[in-house]
Amino acid sequence: MRALLGRGLRAAVLLLGVSFITFLLLARTPGDFASSLQLNPQISPATVAALRAEFALDAPLLPRYVHWLGALLRGHLGYSVTYRIPVEDLIWRRAANTLLLTSTALLIAWSLAIAIGVTAAAARRSAWDRIVGITAAALLALPDLLIALALLTFAAHSGLLPTGGMTTIGIEGGTWAAVRDLAAHMAIPVTVLALSTTPVLLQHVRSALEESMPPPLAISLNARGLPRTRVVVRHAFRLASAPLAALGGVSVGSLLSAGLLVEVLVGWPGLGSLLLEAVTTRDQYVVIAATVLATAALVAGNALADVLLHAVDPRVRAGADAPAPAAVS
């Protein structure tokens, strides 16, 4: 319990630090939303002044930050000057889209990594094992941007897949048609995220399985008539559960961060595209909320890794439950 409280306190301090630094950077950036409106001759100076007063753009940094923290404790993240709605109404809708995209990609990436990793570990030092290693290394060398551009180019020339967005405007045909349309729009971003994540997971899965099943132990189990694939699945996986559990939690947070860039590239209406739009229009409370939420996703991923590691590794549970050493005077 003490360790859990300590991790929670560190996470809270980290999120506070990120929010304050974001406030500070936005305050130091020349201009704001109202300043950009001054360039429009159709907007009067009185309207600009009213907007400055409404959103307290000229107030000092520290009072604005304290006021935002107080509103945050009441569940209010501020007000979007672009969409003219509360930030929480906007951010949660976009966060749900991001979660749908990244959770699907994570499920596919882990399924591929485990399936291919098991077969490669079962056929250790074979031609298949070498092919898997070379393919994973080649995919690791490819930037996400290049993969996305290649898939978008293919979709644009073939017409088989939509090149952006989340849904087709005016689609008809009922629920099943809407689901198929959503799956078609998800195909490119999910493929990009899965291709960028699977090689990393695959290398960790192969390494964990090989380290948990050294050659003498594998030879001993094979001598009892157990096939190598069964040895890897039934014995190596149990021994490798601790590092794989830790990797599973960390991969959640890292994939959510990677998904922000992919969303911008393919026009997926998630946190990534919202953050870019908010930075462009200087919608400061949306920028702050999106940045803090992305950081919270990383913190949650690390916390999930700790929980999974505690659940599968008795050594971690024993260390957490052990009493603290007495102070020596």
Tens-place pLDDT, residues 68-81: 888 888 888 888 87
Q: How does the average pLDDT of the chain come out, rounded?
A: 79
- Residue 94 corresponds to which tokens in the numbers above? 């976009």
In the predicted model, what is the mean pLDDT of residues 10-38? 81
What band does 187 get if pLDDT is binned at 50, 70 and 90? Answer: very high
In the predicted model, what is the mean pLDDT of residues 169-182? 80
pLDDT digits over 113-149, tens only?
888 888 887 777 778 888 888 888 888 888 888 888 8
Pairwise CA distance, residues 54 & 31, whole Å: 17
Chain centre to alpha carbon of residue 22: 19
Q: pLDDT at position 191, please?
A: 92
Q: If you search the block for the tokens 């149990």, which residue do you land on?
A: 238
Q: Is the pLDDT of residue 303 over 70?
A: yes
**79 pairs with which residues across the strands?**
86
- The CATH code for residues 89-321 is 1.10.3720.10
- Ordered by start, the domain boundaries in the chain are 16-73, 89-321
Element (H, E) at 324: none
Q: If you search the block for the tokens 């830790």, which residue do you land on?
A: 246
Residue 297 · residue 281 · CB < 8 Å:
no
pLDDT digits over 204-229, tens only?
888 877 777 666 655 565 566 556 66
- Residue 159 corresponds to which tokens in the numbers above? 């017409």
